[in-house]
Amino acid sequence: MKLSIAVLVAVALIAVGLFATVGSASTQATVVTVTMTDFHFKLSKTTGFKRGVAYTFKVVNKGAALHNFDIQTVKKSKIIAHGKTTSITVTFKQAKKYPYVCDVPRHAELGMAGFIKVS
């Protein structure tokens, strides 16, 4: 009797462990916070991007003006107001430098532009 309970507990623990492993592998993307000000982007992660890996860019507008985060040819966030947050999830397909900008007129030339280097 004692032995069978121990076996049951062991099986239950293994099952929980398997579920936890599968769950995290399929749903977790690396979160990168993109802080937007007038007129600058600051990314919480700037190096070590890998192709084939999912990244969720959490885009936060701390400026006064409207802004967005547009990874050109890949995906763009919506344009958001001061104090708002939005997000986009991206999996880069190629090892190259992906340019990003803010799409609001003149913001890129004022400094809201950069590159994400993917290897």
Site for Cu ion (CB under 5 A): which residue of 32, 60, 102, 116?
A: 102
Is position 108 an interface residue for Cu ion (rule: CB under 5 A)? no
Q: What is the smallest separation between the CB atom of 102 and Cu ion, expressed in angstroms?
A: 3
**Which burial class, exposed, middle or buried, applies to 99 when counting CB atoms under 10 A from its CB (0-12, 13-18, 19+)?**
middle
Spacing of C-alpha 76 from chain mean position: 12
Residues 27 to 56: which contact Cu ion by CB under 5 A? none
Nearest residue (CB) to Cu ion, 32 versus 112: 112
CA pair distance 16, 32, nearest whole angstrom: 29
The one-letter code for the residue type at 2 is K
Q: Candidates 10-18, 54-62, 85-93, 103-111: pick the segment binding Cu ion (CB under 5 A).
A: 103-111
The Cα–Cα gap between 42 and 95 comes to 22
- Residue whose CB is less far from Cu ion, 34 or 118: 34
Question: Which two tokens mark 49?
Answer: 């991007």
Strand stretches in the chain, DSSP E = 30-37, 40-43, 54-61, 70-71, 75-76, 85-91, 97-101, 113-117
Candidate ranges 15-23, 41-49, 61-69, 76-84; the one touching Cu ion (CB under 5 A): 61-69
Binding mask 3-32 for Cu ion (x = CB under 5 A): ------------------------------
Residues within the interface to Cu ion (CB under 5 A): 67, 102, 104, 107, 112
